[in-house]
Structure 1
């Protein structure tokens, strides 16, 4: 089977195009192919499939075999893939996702190649039970969360997948490997959670590091960047548009006050194409 290795700010994926449905053994394939020592190596396995509601449908299997409802970096990669290969007409693409429905994507191109991609990520979900958390509240903002060793305060946001945003003094050097797994599986989150550790530098700049549910520490997380901007607005820390600086580079996020939708702009890149045994 042919695959294409792609990444969005270092958040990397094995992209498969041409299948009609998600294989029954996709979990097994993700576990095998995403292994960085015995496989191709990636944060996730992405299938670009036909859709009855959009130009294409995206399915994402994390490196641990679980399925993600949405992924901001993956959707930019999918948009670049179909645009650069001429599979869509014009510079607007619609992509169906499992958790966020059909999302509109705008391509900014040069010489027939997508350079940056802007995704309408939809309206953030703030209701506690819908994120989901176990907290029955219209918003879950600056709430204590306890572990055996420490306590934090978090804000919950869903961007089609659940996020827990925590503000720390130094996100760049924060110990992800210690606290990420403890918070991902915390009882407050019935479907586990993506955990973002953020440091606000000014009203339009935030450093963020992420522990992704099902993948661990990654270089970037598009939905996490969106959740961080929404959380920062709710906590009065930033304006509604900001640069979210991740380990792999920056994403530019805007939470529109008129339509309540979040817009993400960033790059996507090809690495190589190869063949793998199914």
Structure 2
């Protein structure tokens, strides 16, 4: 059988999206997902997304990184799926239920409330998540935030100067993080502007990360480095992040459909 897909991206963070809401799909192994995600011999993506029916929401979204591992949430993918659905929607993920709706910036996503407790990140042992007493070479005293996905955030003078391609995997796989970790390096430009880069667990360097932008904004706000409504500039472009007084995070930004096609899973087994 051939499987239809939609190739989409949010600020260059790209996805293969499969819609299984009406017709069931075959199971995809980690090896098959890795082959499909390969940019030379497959379709190419950072994340592989499957939409499934849900009894009380618009749909369920399952998210796999390009290495085939399943993850809890993806903010950019949520915007892409929101665009695909074309109307306000409730989307169930392993990290919780999120709500999307079209807006002037493209798609806004209610990402829910961040988790700040050490055991919710999770960390291997108790410590303050606002200013963690740990470091890796020049990266020290990060903040940890879970926004469906776990993130550790380092505030630095120039995030472009950080060797994230080498420090990212080192920190991602540290024993302090039993579920591994996404690594963000951020520079505060002013009270409403942040520049950041991200190393995503299971995906590496990506051009944008929605949960990373949310986590970084929350970390900056917790440290009183910014106001509660900021623009986060990533290599792929900007996202607007607002941390409401009720604790919920609203992320707004563009999403794009690149092309549609189909494939035979047997070609990638």
Instruction: State the Cα deviation string for residues 248-274 of structure 1 (Å, max 9, x = none).
Output: 0000000011x1111100110011111
2:6 corresponds to which residue?
Answer: 4
User: Is residue 192 of structure 2 the alignment partner of residue 241 of structure 1?
Assistant: no
1:104 corresponds to which residue?
Answer: 99
Equivalents in 1 of 2:50, 2:25: separation in Å? 7
Equivalents in 2 of 1:206, 1:151: separation in Å? 18
User: Is residue 128 of structure 2 the alignment partner of residue 133 of structure 1?
Assistant: no
What TM-score do you get using the length of structure 2 for normalisation? 0.93
* 1:1-278 map, 5 Å: 1-18=3-20, 23-83=26-86, 91-99=87-95, 101-108=96-103, 116-137=106-127, 139-147=128-136, 149-257=137-245, 259-278=246-265
Q: Find the residue that maps to 1:129 and give its secondary structure.
A: helix
CA apart distance, 1:102:
1.6
Structure 2 residue runs without a partner (length 5+): none
Distance 1:215 1:21, change over 3 A: farther
Bigger RCO of structures 1 and 2 (CA < 8 A, at least 6 apart):
2
Equivalents in 2 of 1:165, 1:237: separation in Å? 13
Instruction: State the Cα deviation string for residues 61-112 of structure 1 (Å, max 9, x = none).
Output: 10011111000000111111121xxxxxxx421111111x221112127xxx
What TM-score do you get using the length of structure 1 for normalisation? 0.90
Q: Find the residue that maps to 2:171 and give its secondary structure.
A: helix
Equivalents in 2 of 1:203, 1:266: separation in Å? 20
Structure 1 residue runs without a partner (length 5+): 84-90, 110-114
Equivalents in 2 of 1:61, 1:14: separation in Å? 10
CA apart distance, 1:150:
4.7
Distance 1:70 1:22, change over 3 A: farther
The size of the alignment, in residue pairs, is 262
Whether the 8 Å contact between 2:218 and 2:243 is mirrored in structure 1 is: yes
Distance 1:175 1:151, change over 3 A: closer
Whether the 8 Å contact between 1:80 and 1:268 is mirrored in structure 2 is: yes
CA apart distance, 1:181:
0.3
CA apart distance, 1:37:
1.3
Instruction: State the Cα deviation string for residues 213-271 of structure 1 (Å, max 9, x = none).
Output: 110000000000000000001112111110000000000000011x1111100110011
Instruction: State the Cα deviation string for residues 137-193 of structure 1 (Å, max 9, x = none).
Output: 5x511213234x555121000001100001112113422111100011111111000
Whether the 8 Å contact between 2:74 and 2:211 is mirrored in structure 1 is: yes
Equivalents in 1 of 2:218, 2:125: separation in Å? 19
CA apart distance, 1:25:
2.6
CA apart distance, 1:22:
6.9
